[in-house]
Structure 1
Amino acid sequence: MELELGAVRAFVAVAEDRYFGEAAIRLGISQQAVSKRIARLESDLGLTLFYRSRNGADLTEDGRAFLVHARALVGIADQAVELLRGRRRALRVDVLDTRLASIDLIRGFHQAVDGVEVDIVTSDGFRSARDALARGAVDAVLCRVPGPLDDMIDCVPVHLEPVHLLAGRGHRFAGRERVETAELAGATAWMPGNAEGSEWAEFYRLLGAAFGIRIDTSGPHFGYEHYVETIGSGGRIGFAGEGTRLPWHPDVVQIPITAPVPVYPWSLLRHRQNQHPALDLLTRHLVARRRPLDPAHQWLPDADHAAFTRDRARP
């Protein structure tokens, strides 16, 4: 019996994301294709690897036993491919999540600059960025930078993304074209995806503290589909970046916030010893399109102000 690497890779993705739909987004294939690969793998092995339920896919005992070896197989395969790519490999960019505004920044670069191959990577943002850059696992990371960096890592501010309000159609804000930030004082925003210790969780904590908004991070977090469905079915509100690709729901509206506009700061991180020929091209492309902070009309945490108010960085 020979294992198909694509099926093993799909197994690892589902095991880590718990949802076939999430795994499909990570792999860049359809959910049906993921299901077929898992079914074939289970058939080849003669084992059941997952228990399926409305709450996602959980590993069986056999699945947990196989996961360690599956990750090793995928890792060895990726290393072999990387060695063959040699010096002309694609530019590896960590975008945090393929449904966020960061993916549009990289897509714009790929469309504007001919002859540059790009590999998209997702991880834990700032928490994993420094180590990944130092090891050369990625060439660039797009994330918010909440704290100090190593001397060998450059931080280039590239994008300020307006934050929007999410509300169900029955909510008092639902019929509004925009909502002023002051009107949210005393409200509770439900943000179950705000992982403890993450830079985005800190951003929304600071936003809440600045304007008297309670941020409820209670979970569990079952993914974007569940998040939007829950907002639409109850009286809760939430936040999302303007560029976030949320699943459409008939009972959820997305409303711009003004006076001031909260903006989420995206920066490009790169290691100074990284000599990838496309890295400077990416940096110049993003910097050239960056809009400056407007302190009179936009809100940004104090810790992020310095990077976005100084002169445009040079690669």
Structure 2
Amino acid sequence: MDVEAMRTFVAVAETGQFQAAADQLGISQQAVSKRIATLEKHLEVTLLVRTPRGSRMSLDGQVFLPHAKKVLTTVEQAEQAVRPGSRPLRVDVLNRRIAPAQAVYRCYRSHPEMNLDAVTLSKENAAQATRAVLDGAVDASFRALPAGQVPAGISAERLLDAPLELLVGPGHPLADAPWVRPADLAGHRIWIPGIRPGTEWAAFYQALSEAFGLSIDALGPNFGDEALMDALADSASLATLVGSGDRYLWPQAHDLRRIPLHDPTPIYPHVLLSRAGDQHPVLTALRDHLRTSGPRTPDDVWAPDWVDR
């Protein structure tokens, strides 16, 4: 059924004049007559009866009017639901503890009127997350995606570089160092249980290992962040790597140490992926926030060769 024809019928029914309905809708009187005729032909009934003073509804028209109004209200609600800014912006932050989630949260704190929803596609790799953006399952995703792998229809902007830090327990040989070089980590076991084959972060840590001769592994079961913090606190040899903007919590008695890495500083490059041409106002605000308030990184940084500079 033609929604515009139904809208025209309601306008004529409420104004009582074809010309008044035409003026209200911004169309010609001829167009109004044509739409009404099309609607009546579709329904196989007469809805409006012309009179010397304008028009009046037939009995069928009187029955049809309240239903037509309900349909138009539903159509308006459906259109409003998907207009830019009318629904929450769905952003994949990968993990609620790491830098992208914290950056989105700070953006929201700065603009609490924002309508957004942070989700975690933690089991998907960059290619799968990109497909989720293209399919509309999410509006945006933070991923370390090489420029050559960005598909058509996706806008990609590197907006958040997370400098890496060493996280160790108080008994670790490097626990009291003010900062360390990546090369100083050679010979130390670095355990990152969240690494999964086929993910972009697995490729990142593989490149980091090869660049500085490091021993990075994900051996053993992953019992979560709390278990990792417990293991670090109890070990004099175990270490892990975290982003400087990541938010991990542990008991004060663990006395864990976050040690910056310099000379050079490895950075994890978070690229914001979204559908090309997406005009959602919260997405625009998020981009602007990241461009102006992202963490400052040293001049001497390291990133994998496949990262878009």
Common fold: TM-score over 0.5: yes
3-state secondary structure, aligned to 1:264: strand
Instruction: Kindly state the Cα deviation for residue 290 of structure 1 after the two structures are TM-superposed.
Output: 4.2
Matched, 1:271 2:275: yes
1:129-163 per-residue CA deviation (whole Å, 9 max, x = no partner) reads 11111111111111211460111101111111111
Q: Report the identity percentage.
A: 35
Assess if the C-alpha contact under 8 Å between 2:164 and 2:261 holds in 1: yes
| 1:106 to partner: Cα distance | 1.0
- Find the counterpart in structure 2 of residue 246 from structure 1: 248
Measured at CA, do residues 111 and 251 of structure 1 come closer, stay the same or move farther in structure 2, by a change above 3 Å?
Answer: closer
Q: Residue 207 of structure 2 aligns with which residue?
A: 206
Structure 1 residue 224: Cα displacement? 0.4
Once the two structures are superposed, the pairs formed by residues 1-315 of structure 1 within 5 Å of their partners are 85-87=81-83, 88-113=86-111, 115-123=113-121, 124=124, 126-146=126-146, 148-234=149-235, 235-249=237-251, 250-290=254-294, 296-306=299-309
Pairwise CA distance, 1:114: 5.6
Provide the rounded CA distance (Å) in 2 between the counterparts of 1:116 and 1:276: 11
Q: Describe the shift of the 1:288–1:201 C-alpha distance in structure 2 as closer, same or farther (beyond 3 A).
A: same
SS in 2 for 1:278: helix
Tell me the distance in 2 between the aligned counterparts of 1:291 and 1:176. 23
Q: TM-score, normalised by structure 2?
A: 0.67
After superposition, the C-alpha distances for 1:23-71 in whole angstroms (9 at most, x for unaligned) are xxxxxxxxxxxxxxxxxxxxxxxxxxxxxxxxxxxxxxxxxxxxxxxxx
Helix, strand or coil for the counterpart of 1:283? helix
Q: Which amino acid aligns with 2:152?
A: D
Residue 222 of structure 1 aligns to which amino acid in structure 2? Answer: F
Cα distance change of structure 1 residues 222 and 120 upon mapping to structure 2, 3 Å threshold: same
Distance in 1 (alpha carbons) for counterparts of 2:177 and 2:190: 17
Are 1:158 and 1:286, in contact at CA under 8 Å, matched by a contact in 2?
yes
* Cα distance, 1:114–1:191 mapped onto 2, change above 3 Å: closer
**CA distance in structure 2 between the partners assigned to 1:290 and 1:251 by the alignment:** 28
RMSD across aligned positions (CA): 2.2
Letter in 1 for 2:130: R
Tell me the amino acid that sits aligned with residue 96 of structure 2: T
Amino acid at match of 1:100: I
Tell me how far 1:166 sits from its aligned partner. Answer: 1.4
Task: Provide closer, same or farther for how the CA distance between residues 83 and 247 of structure 1 changes in structure 2, counting only shifts above 3 A.
Answer: farther
Aligned length: 224
SS in 1 for 2:104: helix
Q: C-alpha separation between the residues in 2 aligned to 1:100 and 1:109?
A: 15
What displacement does 1:94 show? 0.7
Q: In structure 2, what residue type is equivalent to 1:243? A: G
Q: Which amino acid is the alignment partner of residue 242 of structure 1?
A: S
What letter corresponds to residue 282 of structure 1 in structure 2? L
Residue 293 of structure 1 and its aligned partner are, at CA, apart by 6.3
Per-residue CA shift, 1:63-98, capped at 9, x if unaligned? xxxxxxxxxxxxxxxxxxx99944311111110011
**Alignment deviations for residues 155-207 of structure 1 (CA, whole Å, 9 cap, x no partner):** 11111111111112111101111112221123221111111111112111111
SS in 1 for 2:306: helix
Q: Per-residue deviation at 1:276?
A: 2.2
**Which protein has the larger Cα radius of gyration, Structure 1 or Structure 2?**
2
SS at match of 2:108: helix
For residues 287 and 125 of structure 1, the distance between their equivalents in structure 2, rounded to whole angstroms, comes to: 25
